[in-house]
């Protein structure tokens, strides 16, 4: 009697159990129409796989996963037989040590090591079988690998050592075994371990790092420290712990930022107070804020500064401006105008303006009409030019409120229809707010008028 087991479709595979497990096939294959098949016998397959042991591991992983997903009583029996053959080392298919360590199969691992396989064999990500066994807490596998000469301080591609994998998994027996065989946490990227512990908000991990000889104040491979990370995470408890362990609040990282400058920049009040107390006790110099470009742990925006005491904007009579550069004077005037505008548009500015006496009442302040007439004096002045029309030197004008109004002014002055506003160096301006007093602007159209060296 014939019994149909299943029907194959394009791309399906059959006979894999017979080839991989070297056992008689339980069924035969018959085609009903002309078909094109790729037939591969066991010897040919093994010759191909031997060129790359990693392929054998992938094939066997896929087979075992396939047998588990079938949920067929017959396939479950095949799965048990296959795993038993693996454990006894009776599979001719080349397998890696990492495959055995991943399964926690110390019998298979022993068989592979006895065949002379390298105990420091690497996966594609630089991890060894010892990394994997330590992370899974497999004492038998770790002991076997160490007995066969596995390096307990071998780093993977991310700077992790087997001891760190065991610490993360809280596998105390594996930790002790590794330490007794010369494993050292300092052989890896201790700075990165400390930063990870801070990101996980785990003081226990930091204590383990210290317990096994790691320095939590070290820079990681990216050039920053756990203290910088803790400040960025606003974790006051961990900041205090790291400082108590000797982390220097005035030691800059690779970006030039000290922890104290970072706390001040990001406005962490409690951390700043803690550092200020330490500064007074140690008589440390004032903080210096370095550049903010390319610093990964900085927040997108700086914290709001403390509101300064309002003082009259009256220049001292004994100070001369003859030695000031034009750029310095221009920045000062621009800053004063912006500060005045912010105050005038605030709630207190509006309320104050409503209660101010007018010139007609006491002769102290100008009337609203005079204010409107003189408001142009406080507007930024810019130079606009149009190289396309031969206007290189440019014309001086007050900066309007919108980019469209600026384009309209250009159309009136040069007789063209500009569509873009560029800086003198060619940078495109997309917001009127970025233009400063004294800037030289270039007006151009969609055709991309040539910008001269003006």
Structure-block tokens of residue 262: 């970072």
Backbone angles phi, psi at 86, to 5 degrees: -60, -45
Rounded Cα gap, residues 35 and 56, in angstroms:
28
CA quadruple 161, 166, 167, 172: dihedral positive or negative?
negative
DSSP state of 10: T
Rounded Cα gap, residues 3 and 30, in angstroms:
12
Structure-block tokens of residue 146: 């160490």
pLDDT at site 285: 52
Q: Compute CA 407 distance to the chain's CA centroid, rounded to the nearest angstrom.
A: 41
Rounded Cα gap, residues 48 and 46, in angstroms:
5
- Cβ pair 240, 209 in contact under 8 A: no
Instruction: Give the Cβ contact number of residue 186 at 10 Å.
Output: 16
At a CB cut-off of 8 Å and minimum separation 6, what does 40 contact?
A: 19
Structure-block tokens of residue 399: 């900066």
> Exposed/middle/buried for 90, CB within 10 Å: 0-12, 13-18, 19+?
exposed
**200-to-12, 236, 254 alpha-carbon distances in Å:** 45, 14, 23
pLDDT at site 119: 92
- Cβ pair 383, 395 in contact under 8 A: yes
Kindly provide the b/e burial profile for residues 347-380, where b requires at least 16 CB atoms within 10 angstroms of the residue's own CB. eeeeeeeeeeeeeeeeeeeeeeeeeeeeeeeeeb
- Cβ pair 117, 91 in contact under 8 A: no
- Cβ pair 435, 380 in contact under 8 A: yes
Which three-class secondary structure state does DSSP give residue 245? coil
pTM beyond 0.75: no
Rounded Cα gap, residues 221 and 193, in angstroms:
10
At a CB cut-off of 8 Å and minimum separation 6, what does 123 contact?
A: 54, 96, 98, 132
Instruction: Give the Cβ contact number of residue 387 at 10 Å.
Output: 17
Per-residue pLDDT of the chain (454 residues; tens, 9 = 90+): 778 878 888 888 777 777 777 667 767 788 888 888 888 777 777 777 766 767 777 777 787 777 777 777 777 777 777 777 776 666 666 678 888 888 888 888 888 898 888 899 888 778 999 999 999 999 999 999 999 999 999 999 889 999 999 999 999 999 999 999 999 999 999 999 999 999 999 999 999 999 999 999 899 888 889 999 999 888 899 999 999 888 888 888 888 888 888 888 888 888 888 888 876 555 555 455 555 555 555 554 444 444 444 444 444 444 344 444 455 455 455 545 544 454 455 554 555 555 554 444 444 444 444 434 444 456 788 888 888 777 667 888 888 888 888 888 888 888 888 888 888 888 888 888 888 888 888 888 765 444 333 3
Closest CA to 275 of 249, 301, 306: 249
- Cβ pair 209, 194 in contact under 8 A: yes
pLDDT at site 333: 56
Structure-block tokens of residue 124: 């594609």
Closest CA to 381 of 318, 441, 293: 441
Q: Token pair 């970072």 is at which residue? A: 262
- Cβ pair 406, 399 in contact under 8 A: yes
Strand ordering across the sheet containing 440-444: 391-398, 381-386, 440-444, 420-423
Rounded Cα gap, residues 95 and 82, in angstroms:
14
């Amino acid at each position: 009697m014939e019994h149909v087991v299943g029907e194959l479709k394009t791309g399906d595979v059959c006979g894999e159990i017979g080839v991989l497990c070297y056992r008689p096939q339980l069924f035969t294959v018959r085609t009903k129409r002309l078909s094109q098949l790729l037939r591969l016998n066991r010897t040919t397959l093994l010759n191909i796989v031997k060129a790359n042991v990693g392929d054998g591991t992938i094939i066997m992983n896929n087979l075992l996963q396939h047998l588990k997903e079938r949920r067929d009583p017959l396939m479950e029996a095949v799965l048990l037989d296959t795993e038993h053959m693996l454990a006894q080392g009776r599979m001719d298919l080349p397998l890696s040590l990492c495959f055995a360590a991943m399964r926690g199969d110390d019998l298979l691992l022993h068989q592979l090591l006895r065949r002379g396989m390298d105990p420091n064999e690497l996966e594609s990500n630089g991890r060894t079988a010892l990394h994997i066994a330590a992370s899974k807490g497999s004492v038998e596998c770790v002991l076997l690998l160490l007995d066969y000469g596995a390096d307990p301080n071998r780093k993977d591609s991310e700077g992790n050592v087997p001891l760190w994998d065991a610490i993360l998994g809280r596998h105390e027996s594996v930790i002790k075994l590794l330490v007794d065989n010369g494993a050292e946490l300092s052989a890896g990227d201790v700075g990165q371990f400390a930063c990870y512990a801070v990101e996980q908000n785990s003081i226990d991990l930091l204590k383990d790092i210290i317990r096994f000889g790691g320095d939590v104040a070290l820079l990681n491979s990216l050039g920053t420290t756990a203290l910088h990370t803790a400040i960025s995470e606003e974790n006051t408890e961990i900041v205090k712990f790291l400082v108590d362990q000797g982390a220097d609040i005035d030691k800059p990282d690779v970006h030039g930022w000290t922890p104290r400058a970072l706390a001040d920049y990001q406005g962490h009040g409690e951390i700043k107070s803690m550092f200020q107390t330490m500064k007074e006790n140690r008589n440390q110099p004032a903080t210096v804020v370095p550049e903010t470009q390319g610093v990964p742990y900085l927040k997108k925006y700086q914290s709001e500064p403390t509101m300064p005491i309002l003082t009259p904007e009256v220049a001292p009579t004994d100070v001369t401006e003859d030695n000031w550069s034009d750029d310095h004077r221009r920045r000062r005037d621009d800053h004063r105008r912006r500060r005045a505008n912010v105050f005038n548009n605030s709630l207190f500015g509006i309320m104050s303006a409503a209660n101010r006496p007018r010139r007609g009442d006491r002769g102290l302040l100008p009337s609203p009409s005079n204010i409107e007439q003189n408001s142009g004096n406080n507007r930024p002045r810019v130079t606009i030019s149009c190289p396309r029309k031969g206007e290189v030197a440019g014309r001086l004008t007050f900066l309007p409120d919108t980019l469209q109004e600026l384009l309209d002014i250009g159309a009136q002055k040069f007789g063209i229809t500009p569509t873009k506003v560029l800086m003198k160096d060619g940078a495109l301006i997309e917001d009127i707010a970025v233009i400063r007093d004294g800037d030289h602007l270039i007006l151009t159209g969609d055709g991309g008028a040539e910008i001269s060296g003006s």
